[in-house]
Structure 1
Amino acid sequence: MGHDVDRVLPEVADEAGVTRCRLRMFEVAAPGGRTVRPAVLSGLSMLRYAGMAGTPSAADVRARIAAESPELLDVAMNLMLTQRPDGNLVVGDTHHYALTHDPFLDAETDALVLSQAARLLGVPDLTVRRRWTGVYASAEREFLVAAPHPTTRVVSVTSGIGMTTAFGLAPTVLDDLAGAPR
């Protein structure tokens, strides 16, 4: 179903409180051919992911960012980066929530991500190779699994952690379907 649950089965999406999250990421040239291993998550990631956001120190991190750079919270930035096999870095990301997104992207938000990533890497600026815009279903709960019909399941990871959790969620859903009355 992905992020289209609100278009295909709006009643299921409404009940789960689904909206859409648009995020922005960039592929940039590694400064000076630098190798970055492993992936890097900044303090902003601590505010984004439930496993870290529930720790006692997360409130201190949020307070510090709110005092020093509130614009990072305004765009729900999660500053992280990882290196691709070709040496380029994938840098991101920001999050904007709406039922329908404006097709135009904000240059200031892009510049904010890139300046923060350059700062993290200790360089004055970065060379953007490509830009990426993604959309996913978002809701208060991390997972939406609904059964609008005995042999139908609506499944969406509604928190932006789909790539790391989908293979764990899938067997649970499939096992449930295997036991569903026909």
Structure 2
Amino acid sequence: MLGKLLPVLLALGGLGAGIGAGVALKPAPAEEEMTETCAPTEDVAAATPPEPEETDSDFAKMTNDFLVPVIREGRVAAMVVMGLSLEIEPGKSDEVMNREPKLRDRFLRVMLDHANSGGFDGAFTSNGAIERLHRALAESARTADPAIRDVLILDINRQDS
């Protein structure tokens, strides 16, 4: 019985794979065909999200990434590398970036506190952990210079030892 059923099952499997490949590899319809058959309606146009508004902010990337050691049992267990950017009031970028050494000091202190409190352990990229770090960095930046609106975390990577 199995000898007669196996060729039928293989044929059906091959037929299904062929149909699936044909559907997946079918060429897209030409532009003319699309406009005739797929003309947008007013409902579709209304459902299109609005274009994002342009912000009235300048952005400045911190010149170097931050290296933060994660200490466990008196040893460096991991290194965290972070890249930050600042959202600044328009026209104040040069003024703020002249204070970059002071900002780097403040940010590094916040990151070290975060690391020492276990913020870079486990699922360190979870919304809660990142939000706590983001909030602390932004507060520190605004204290240093009110022209800074926000601190953006561009990159974050942990390398375990």
Whether TM exceeds 0.5 here: the answer is no
Bigger relative contact order, structure 1 or 2 (CA pairs below 8 A, ≥6 apart)? 1
CA radius of gyration, larger in: 2
TM-score if structure 1 supplies the norm length?
Answer: 0.31
Structure having the higher helix fraction is 2
TM-score if structure 2 supplies the norm length?
Answer: 0.34
